[in-house]
């Protein structure tokens, strides 16, 4: 200290100073009162003074005077501290040890903190500290594009006691808090409308947290236990109105092909454990938007998600997913009973089919690996049945079949493409049984029993490229007089049902049909066709040289 002056009296082995002024670098003290014991058996030390403080000196001074490990840990994270404050400083010592009390007002502080990418700018109306309690009133802070306001907080230090925290309108840009997110382009701020915490410093209760992220309102309650060797522990209930999964995935993941880094969602990069019970009024997954209830478990190595309840377009879905640092494993079950086919197709925004009927569905999926490779490595099965029939107004495959058949003028006035679009194709039964393997949907059996025509089919569709390779057996249920004039048939009988073997290749938008020779047709299609009628199936040999 320099430039020190005041009035000093020594009596009874105690030095007493009044009206003391002093300077410590850029900080000044005024109106100081000092009692200094000159012998061990006397009261050793007491200083109280008004301070105009250069805050760059505060961390090293407090580090020498404070013995609380949590406070010392936070002080060690501060770097390049700048700023000013005014207030009162009291340092006293007795048989119980040294006591420090700071009551600061008009605080303006700038500092680096830990690994945060931006300096922290703090303004506060009042901060008080003693060896038992820290209290903050009307604090605001800025860090990059993030900001806090109206922060009021208090915490008991010795003994470990009550914690209170409240925060007004604020926003956090995740890249300001987690620097490794900067390569993801995650620029959507988390907005805090109101936040209130209470409890103990080692067991914090989130009494209310009203937040929003990407214009989705989020409310959080529960408890948070700060890190103590095993990482932070959570027990939270999170309720949101709308969550867009695709947008979250774009924001929270980074491409290893462009950055060379693993996903920021890798659990090892999030030292958090515990349970989150999550509900959302609407979760948008592609074209889907439906309620969701799920449990999220974190153990520091993996993230496990269990979907408790989700109704997607009338289909009940339950699923579990477990993600580790490098892979994700998914198991999914979907089922529907007495579902409205037209409503579900419209809800899923499926453009390639327009039909009605009451359907039932059972589907499963199981896969593990990198998230972008799940369809290639996973397996699954889909069974769809419309047992009471209905009408099909548009179907890309059926439409191609009708056009092909009508080139033979079989139906005449029975049905046409135009009639299908206006009146619908009347069917009595639809069944689809398919398996997923190696990124392809393998159709084991497709049955369509209609008033004017029966169809059986087998084949596959590549889910990545969209390529379709199907063998079909088409049996028009009309008098085949015109067929006889186009394809010579020996021994034709009305007790027989003539069926035309066809091949379908291409994509939904560019599909081609080819006639097949009977010997190129699997026996399963003929056997399936026999199950739809009481007549003997007679295969017409259409060759296989041209496409329609």
- Bond before 97 cis per omega within 30 degrees: no
Closest CA to 211 of 233, 184, 235, 238: 238
Q: Work out the pLDDT band at 416, boundaries 50, 70, 90.
A: low
**Cβ neighbours of 90 (radius 10 Å):** 15
Q: With a cut of 90, say whether residue 346 has pLDDT above it.
A: no
Q: What is the pLDDT of residue 417?
A: 67
CA distance 539 to 474: 10
* Mean pLDDT for the chain overall: 82
**Could you read off the pLDDT of 77-86 as tens digits, one per residue?**
889 999 999 9
CA distance 470 to 461: 8
Q: Do the beta carbons of residue 46 and residue 91 sit within 8 Å?
A: yes
Q: What is the pLDDT of residue 255?
A: 38
Q: What is the pLDDT of residue 275?
A: 94
CA distance 344 to 350: 9
Q: Do the beta carbons of residue 352 and residue 508 sit within 8 Å?
A: yes
CA distance 504 to 523: 17
CA distance 246 to 548: 40
Q: Is the pTM of this model over 0.75?
A: no
Region class of 251: left (phi > 0), else alpha (psi between -120 and 50), else beta = alpha
Q: What is the pLDDT of residue 239?
A: 93
**Cβ neighbours of 399 (radius 10 Å):** 17
- Please state the rounded mean pLDDT for residues 416-429: 80
| For the chain, percent of residues with pLDDT exceeding 90 | 34
Q: With a cut of 60, say whether residue 485 has pLDDT above it.
A: no
Q: What is the pLDDT of residue 415?
A: 55
Q: Which helix H or strand E contains 152, and what residues bound it?
A: strand 146-156
Q: Tell me the residue ranges of DSSP E strands in 256-327.
A: 272-285, 288-299, 303-309, 311-312, 315-323
Q: Work out the pLDDT band at 409, boundaries 50, 70, 90.
A: low
Burial 356-393 (b: 16+ CB within 10 A, else e): bbebebebbbbbbbeeeebbeebebbbbbbbeebbbbb
Domain coordinates in residue numbering, the chain: 1-105, 356-539
- Please state the rounded mean pLDDT for residues 168-188: 67
Q: What is the pLDDT of residue 265?
A: 45
Burial 154-172 (b: 16+ CB within 10 A, else e): ebbbeeeeebebebeebbb
């Amino acid at each position: 200290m320099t430039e020190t002056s005041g009035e000093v009296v020594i009596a009874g082995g105690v030095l007493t100073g009044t009206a003391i002024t002093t300077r410590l670098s850029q900080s000044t003290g005024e109106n100081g009162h000092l009692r200094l014991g000159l012998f061990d058996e006397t009261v050793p030390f007491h200083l109280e003074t008004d301070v105009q403080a250069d805050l760059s000196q505060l961390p090293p001074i407090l580090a020498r005077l404070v013995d609380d490990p949590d406070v010392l840990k936070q002080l060690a994270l501060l770097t390049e501290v700048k700023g000013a404050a005014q207030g009162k400083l009291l340092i006293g010592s007795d048989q119980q040890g040294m006591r420090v009390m700071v009551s600061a007002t008009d605080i303006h502080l700038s500092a680096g903190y830990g690994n945060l990418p931006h300096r922290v700018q703090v303004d506060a109306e009042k901060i008080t500290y003693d060896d038992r309690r820290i209290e903050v009133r009307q604090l605001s802070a800025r860090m990059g594009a993030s900001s806090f306001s109206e922060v009021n907080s208090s915490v008991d230090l010795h003994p470990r006691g009550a914690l209170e925290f409240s925060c007004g309108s604020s926003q956090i840009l995740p890249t300001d808090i987690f620097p490794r997110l900067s390569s993801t382009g995650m620029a959507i701020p988390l907005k805090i409308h109101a936040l209130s915490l209470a409890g103990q410093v080692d067991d914090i209760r989130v009494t209310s947290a009203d937040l929003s992220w990407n214009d989705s309102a989020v409310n959080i309650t529960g408890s948070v236990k700060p890190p103590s060797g095993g990482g932070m522990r959570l027990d939270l209930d999170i309720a949101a109105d709308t969550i867009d999964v695709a947008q979250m995935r774009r924001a929270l993941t980074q491409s290893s092909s462009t950055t060379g880094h693993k996903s920021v969602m890798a659990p090892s990069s999030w030292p958090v454990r515990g349970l989150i019970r999550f509900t959302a009024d609407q979760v948008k997954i592609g074209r889907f938007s439906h309620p969701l209830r799920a449990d999220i478990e974190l153990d520091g190595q993996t993230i496990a998600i269990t979907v408790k309840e989700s109704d997607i377009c009338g289909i009940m879905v339950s699923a579990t997913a477990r993600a580790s640092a490098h892979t994700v494993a998914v198991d999914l079950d979907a089922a529907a009973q007495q579902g409205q086919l037209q409503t579900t197709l419209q809800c899923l925004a499926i453009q390639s089919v327009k039909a009605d009927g009451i359907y039932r569905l059972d589907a499963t999926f199981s896969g593990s690996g990198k998230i972008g490779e799940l369809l290639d490595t996973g397996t699954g099965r889909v069974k769809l049945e419309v047992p009471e029939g209905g009408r099909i107004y548009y179907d890309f495959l059926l439409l191609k079949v009708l056009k092909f058949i009508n080139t033979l003028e079989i139906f005449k006035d029975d049905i046409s493409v135009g009639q299908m679009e206006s009146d619908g194709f009347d069917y009595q039964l639809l069944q689809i049984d398919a398996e997923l393997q190696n990124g392809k949907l393998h159709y084991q059996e497709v049955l369509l029993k209609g008033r004017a025509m029966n169809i059986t089919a087998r084949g596959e569709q590549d889910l990545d490229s969209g390529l379709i390779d199907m063998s079909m057996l088409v049996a028009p249920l009309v008098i085949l007089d015109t067929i006889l004039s186009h394809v010579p048939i020996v021994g034709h009988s009305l007790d027989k049902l003539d069926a035309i073997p066809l091949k379908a290749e291409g994509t939904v938008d560019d599909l081609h049909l080819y006639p097949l020779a009977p010997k190129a047709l699997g026996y399963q299609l003929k056997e399936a066709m026999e199950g739809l009628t009481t007549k003997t199936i007679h295969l017409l040999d259409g060759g296989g040289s041209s496409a329609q």
